[in-house]
């Protein structure tokens, strides 16, 4: 198992996900330990010196001018976890909560937050043992950090709240007793350091980068299958065309599509046909898929910066140099998450158009992709579902970051709402996975009408995979079963793994380092 050093190593999205999956172990090395202990001692100096420093010996938010006695500084920190635990709604996925733990350790281990080493070690214990706190999905405005969700995340440190063990929620107090552990007594600044930060927004962003990356890769693969079924042209993917409008995402998609179609019998069979040009949903795949890839690149870049940032407040440089600033504000991620939501939705919009195109009965395909239309409806209605899903996605594209509701008696008078941006993006991704499953159903059926002509190794491998799970459609059946079978191939990663295996076996390069998550 590879090792990651919290607070000193550079954390990437891929490494973060690997720690969550148990493939990489995160530790605190000697250098990080020294920085953590030094910061802790500086906070102790502040407490003893009794000059006011926000959140250490003062109240919080609009109570920042209220002085707290040295004797009450520890009680202050446990109180903030209790009072700020106001989340509502369903629990977030355990993986997201685990990512929150990981990203919080990375931020605190850099030594600017004044937390005790023992506190970080307890959080790492939760990570290593896969004992994940239960965190409600709603309640953060994404400004003073993700206060409500982070409070719920760290209630178990003081023996409160709930945790999952073996996927079952149990009271944290009972869990600690079971493992012979005592609740922590938080020191000055610790409660505030735990709940100030963007780790809720950030963890949704980390997972979104992975999910959108997968969706973008599938969009090219399934789009290429649809193009083959519709006997579309590969000429719009010529590298020369994209060299004179060199957006990174566009060039990458064009290269992938060109490579995927290189040597296709289907494609070469109609090179000299009299069709002048294809509809936009085919020939503009580099521009549309590529624009979404550009948005993905932006989200990845900013997410990785945030992964290695200190988003606490106040920041402790030393006992005489503390800054109460705004590193906890979620706006730097809220905006790109909203942008990525539109980018994800566009993958669904163009996929829906290709489904419709394949059902029209054009370019030698039978209407509704069935020979027995009339008695059978064929693939008429699955496109209704894509239409419903793309419209639902459009309603989710309103940018949460465009809104702000003042909180904390006006002290926090501009907030990011980035937590909503992150959750909405995942709702759109859920719909995209179903839309892509439906396009896959159409594309495989359309390709069958081009037999005995064959496509290329990667596309043929995907077609064979579909046919192992969904037979050719001769007569009407319950198509929801087919859609769910294909959806499972998408969500369990089998579709992309099959494409990757076929590419490796046939020495086909479909990747580029810049479009990776490590």
Q: What is the pLDDT of residues 93-140, one digit of tens each?
A: 999 999 999 999 999 999 999 999 999 999 999 999 999 999 999 999
In terms of DSSP bridges, do strands 24-27 and 2-5 run parallel, antiparallel, or are they unpaired?
parallel
In order of 338, 390, 429, the CA distances from 295 in angstroms are: 10, 19, 14
**Which range among 47-51, 55-59, 291-295, 386-390 shows the weakest confidence by mean pLDDT?**
55-59
Active-site residue list: 54
Classify domain 204-310+341-386+434-506 at the CATH topology level.
Fumarase C; Chain A, domain 2 (1.20.200)
In order of 140, 289, 345, 387, the CA distances from 424 in angstroms are: 14, 20, 11, 19
Residue 41 φ/ψ, nearest 5 degrees: -65, -35
Polymer length of the chain = 518
Q: How many CB atoms lie within 10 A of CB 492?
A: 10
pLDDT at 1: 86
- Start-to-end Cα distance in the chain: 16
What's the longest Cα–Cα distance across the chain?
86
Question: Residue 334 — very low, low, confident or very high, per pLDDT cuts 50/70/90?
Answer: very high
Contacts of 513 (CB under 8 A, 6+ apart): none
pLDDT at 55: 75
pLDDT at 66: 72
In order of 97, 341, 386, the CA distances from 395 in angstroms are: 27, 11, 14
In terms of DSSP bridges, do strands 162-165 and 132-133 run parallel, antiparallel, or are they unpaired?
antiparallel
The percentage of residues in the chain with a pLDDT greater than 90, rounded to a whole number, is 87
Taking a C-beta distance cutoff of 8 angstroms, is the pair 230, 282 a contact? yes
Q: For 182, which DSSP code?
A: P
Q: How far apart are CA 36 and CA 374, in angstroms?
A: 73
Residue 517 φ/ψ, nearest 5 degrees: -110, 5
Q: How far apart are CA 415 and CA 430, in angstroms?
A: 27
Burial 233-262 (b: 16+ CB within 10 A, else e): bbebbeeeebeeeebebbbbbbbbbbbbbe
476: left (phi over 0), alpha (psi -120 to 50) or beta: beta
Contacts of 430 (CB under 8 A, 6+ apart): none
Tell me the range of 47-51, 277-281, 414-418, 513-517 where mean pLDDT is highest: 277-281
Average pLDDT over residues 215-219: 98
pLDDT higher than 80, residue 292: yes
pLDDT at 372: 87
Q: For 286, which DSSP code?
A: H
In terms of DSSP bridges, do strands 315-318 and 168-171 run parallel, antiparallel, or are they unpaired?
unpaired
The C-alpha angle with vertex 259 and arms to 264 and 502, in degrees rounded to 5, equals 80
Packing angle of the helix pair 117-128, 94-108 (nearest 10 deg): 150
pLDDT at 64: 67
Whether the upstream peptide bond of residue 411 has omega within 30° of 0, thus cis, is no
Domain 2-196 has CATH 3.30.1360.70: no
Q: How far apart are CA 49 and CA 70, in angstroms?
A: 10
pLDDT higher than 70, residue 485: yes
The closest alpha carbon to 401, from 340, 469, 490, 489, belongs to 340
Q: How far apart are CA 123 and CA 154, in angstroms?
A: 8
More confident residue, 333 or 320: 333
**Residue-averaged pLDDT of the chain:** 95
pLDDT higher than 90, residue 450: yes
> pLDDT of 31-74, one tens digit each?
999 999 999 999 999 888 877 887 787 777 666 677 777 778 78
| Domain extent listing, the chain | 2-196, 204-310+341-386+434-506
466: left (phi over 0), alpha (psi -120 to 50) or beta: alpha
The closest alpha carbon to 408, from 140, 63, 159, 93, belongs to 63
Q: For 67, which DSSP code?
A: B
Average pLDDT over residues 287-295: 98
Question: Residue 238 — very low, low, confident or very high, per pLDDT cuts 50/70/90?
Answer: very high
């Amino acid at each position: 198992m590879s090792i990651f050093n919290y607070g000193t190593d550079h954390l990437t999205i891929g490494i973060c996900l690997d720690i969550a999956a148990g493939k990489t172990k995160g530790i605190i090395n000697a250098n990080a330990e020294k920085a953590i202990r030094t910061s802790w001692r500086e906070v102790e100096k502040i407490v003893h010196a009794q000059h006011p420093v926000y959140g250490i010996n003062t109240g919080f938010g609009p109570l920042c001018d209220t002085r707290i006695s040295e004797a009450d500084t520890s009680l202050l920190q446990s109180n903030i976890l209790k009072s700020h635990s106001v989340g509502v709604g369903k629990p977030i996925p355990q993986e997201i909560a685990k990512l929150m733990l990981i990203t919080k350790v990375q931020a605190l281990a850099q030594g600017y937050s004044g937390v005790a080493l023992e506190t970080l070690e307890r959080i790492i214990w939760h990570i290593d043992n896969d004992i994940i706190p239960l965190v409600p999905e709603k309640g953060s405005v994404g400004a003073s950090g993700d206060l409500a969700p982070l409070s719920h995340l760290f209630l178990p440190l003081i023996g409160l709240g709930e945790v999952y063990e073996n996927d079952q929620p149990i009271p944290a107090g009972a869990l600690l007793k079971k493992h012979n552990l005592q609740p922590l007594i938080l020191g000055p600044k610790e409660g505030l350091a735990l709940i100030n930060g963007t780790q809720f927004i950030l963890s949704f962003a980390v997972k979104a980068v992975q999910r959108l990356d997968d969706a973008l890769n599938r969009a090219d693969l399934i789009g290429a299958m649809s193009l083959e079924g519709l006997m579309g042209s590969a000429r719009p993917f010529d590298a020369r065309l994209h060299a004179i409008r060199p957006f990174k995402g566009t060039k990458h998609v064009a290269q992938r599509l060109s490579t995927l179609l290189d040597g296709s019998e289907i494609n070469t069979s109609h090179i000299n046909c009299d069709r002048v040009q294809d509809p936009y949903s085919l020939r503009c795949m580099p521009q549309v898929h590529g624009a979404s890839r550009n948005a993905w690149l932006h989200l990845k870049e900013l997410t990785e910066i945030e992964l290695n940032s200190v988003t606490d407040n106040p920041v402790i440089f030393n006992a005489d140099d503390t800054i109460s600033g705004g590193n906890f504000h979620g706006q730097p991620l809220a905006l790109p998450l909203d942008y990525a939501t539109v980018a994800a939705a566009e993958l669904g919009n163009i996929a829906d158009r290709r489904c419709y195109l394949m059902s029209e009965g054009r370019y030698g395909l039978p209407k509704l992709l069935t020979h027995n239309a009339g008695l059978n409806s064929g693939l008429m209605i699955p496109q209704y579902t894509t239409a419903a899903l793309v419209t639902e996605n459009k309603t989710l594209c309103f940018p949460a970051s465009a809104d702000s509701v003042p909180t904390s008696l006006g002290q926090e008078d501009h907030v990011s709402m980035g937590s909503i941006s992150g959750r909405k993006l995942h709702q759109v991704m859920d719909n995209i996975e179903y839309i892509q499953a439906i396009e896959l159903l159409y594309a495989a059926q359309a390709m069958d009408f081009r037999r005995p002509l064959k496509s290329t190794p990667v596309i043929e491998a995907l077609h064979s995979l579909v046919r192992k799970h969904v037979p050719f459609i001769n007569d009407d059946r319950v198509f929801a079963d087919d859609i769910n079978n294909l959806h499972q191939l998408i969500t369990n990663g089998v579709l992309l793994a099959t494409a990757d295996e076929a590419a490796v076996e046939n020495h086909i390069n479909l990747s580029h380092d810049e479009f990776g998550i490590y």
